[in-house]
Amino acid sequence: MARTAVVRPETGLGDTARGWWVTIALTLIAALTRFERLGSTTDGGMPVFDEKYYALQAWEMLSNGTGIEDNPGYVVVVHPPAGKLLIALGEVLFGYSPLGWRISAAVAGTLLVLLVIRIVRRLARSTMIGAIAGILMIAEGVTLVSSRIGMLDIFLTVLVTGAFGCLIVDRDEVRARMATADAAGRVAVTSFGPRLGVRWWRFAAGVLLGLACATKWSGAYLMVFFVVLCLGFDAAARRRYGVRRPFAGTLVRDAAPAVFALIVVAVGVYLGSYAGWFASESAINRHAAGIQVGTGGFFSFVPDALRALWFQHAEVLGVHTHLTNSAGFHHPWESKPWTWPMGLRPMLYHFSDPAQTTGCGQSSCVRAIMLVGTPAIWWLAFPALGWALWQTVTRRDWRYLAVLAGYAAGWLPWFAVLDRQMYYFYATTMAPFLVMLVALALGQILGRVTESRERRDTGLLVVCLYLGLVVANFVWNYPILTAMPITGSTWQQHLWLPSWR
């Protein structure tokens, strides 16, 4: 069917000096909050909470020169090497010290703010709304704490957010290419529409998703969601430009390249992260083929190294699958995914002995690191999700749908394994997408430039009041996010809900 209307090319928001100055200024503010007193809080000079695994394993990967753990005494080597290699980069610069095992996380957390600003700026076609997202991201508690501790979640989050941003740019480039093909009369040559050529941004997304999976396996959930999202973008673009069979065209023209870029490339990057394991003679289970696992059978054509790696992965998977509540594994700070959207059960990473802590003006003080989302942001999760769904259904707003896909990918898969021991820090990947949803909604409250001055001023007032509330809430929570010394009574005042205790 021929189109009856002329489709105007859809372009992204062009980079401007103002846009980049705003981005840089907010990123510098984020860096101050992420790096300030970064190495000051330890457990007697040693890592706190799960840092004790990752900081030590990263140091071993650095010390043995293989880039892989090779100490069979580690019974909790349960994550791929990429995230620990990033921690090791900091230890190269600052040694086995709090600053050394945390600085890479701080860099990643700062970069996350920059990414969210640029992504929202492109989604909303507005530097103002991008800046609003940046302020919210700076004041978001979960990613702040994750940026100041030597664990893996902030690396996973920045990688999947970067992959999401690449797909948003790819969407704009696809529509620009479709506009070019339309102008040249190539859209209607076949019922499937034109070929779109090499898409480097989608390829970059695949690389980042591979690194995400090489940091924590949960990155695979987002990879699946993002493949579907990318193909949805392609189908919508072909339909917009009048391709006679847009969905069939997507399957014929786009599905295989998408699978290659976002899955095959990602798997290749994932295997590449084990280069040190393949090269090592002493890596854990490196020579399992022929010992723990046979060499014959249907898969005998698979090289021994890959069979051994498969066995190693099965061993790691066994640790994860048996770490369940029904098997008797419980933790006082564990939580289930239905509590994550509003942060109803935070995570206490560190709590000092009040009798040995000073600095608050009293004889005994508290220094604590609690992973808790800023309530002024997280407690709006369900209204924000409801509004995003409404906008998706009633207005077919692709921006909300795209961000919802990212949020859902970080949240919904965990409902399939409810018996597993889980923690609130698994929700770190949800934080940037929640901020994007709130920022897009605030952009609608601001209103369009074509609306009346009174409407715009009222919207600006509401948005400014809300941002002021968020910043005030963040400042109030800052001591328990960064282990500043406070009195015992002040600590109790920070525990707003019974489930926070």
Query: What tens digit of pLDDT does each residue of 75-102 get?
Result: 567 899 999 999 999 999 999 999 999 9
Q: Do 406 and 160 touch, CB atoms closer than 8 A?
A: yes
Which CB contacts under 8 angstroms, 24+ apart, belong to 353-356? 354/488
Q: What is the mean pLDDT of residues 112-124?
A: 97
Residue 287: pLDDT band with limits 50, 70, 90? confident
pLDDT tens string 151-189: 999 999 999 999 999 999 999 999 999 999 999 999 888
The number of residues making up the chain comes to: 501
For the record, the structure tokens of 347 come out as 């995570």
Domain ranges for the chain: 153-284
Neighbour-count burial of 55, counting CB atoms closer than 10 A to its CB (0-12 exposed, 13-18 middle, 19+ buried): buried
pLDDT at 300 over 60: yes
The rounded mean pLDDT for the chain is: 92
Determine contact, residues 172/199, Cβ cutoff 8 Å.
no
- CA pseudo-torsion sign 202, 205, 207, 209: negative
- Count the Cβ atoms, other than its own, within 10 Å of residue 11: 12
Q: What is the C-alpha to C-alpha distance for residues 206 and 213, in angstroms, rounded to an integer? A: 10
Q: Could you tell me where the beta strands, DSSP code E, fall in 267-408?
A: 347-351, 368-371
> How much is the pLDDT for 72?
66
Q: Report pTM.
A: 0.94
What tokens appear for 399 in the block? 């921006």
Is residue 11 predicted with pLDDT exceeding 70? no
Residue 1: per-residue pLDDT: 41
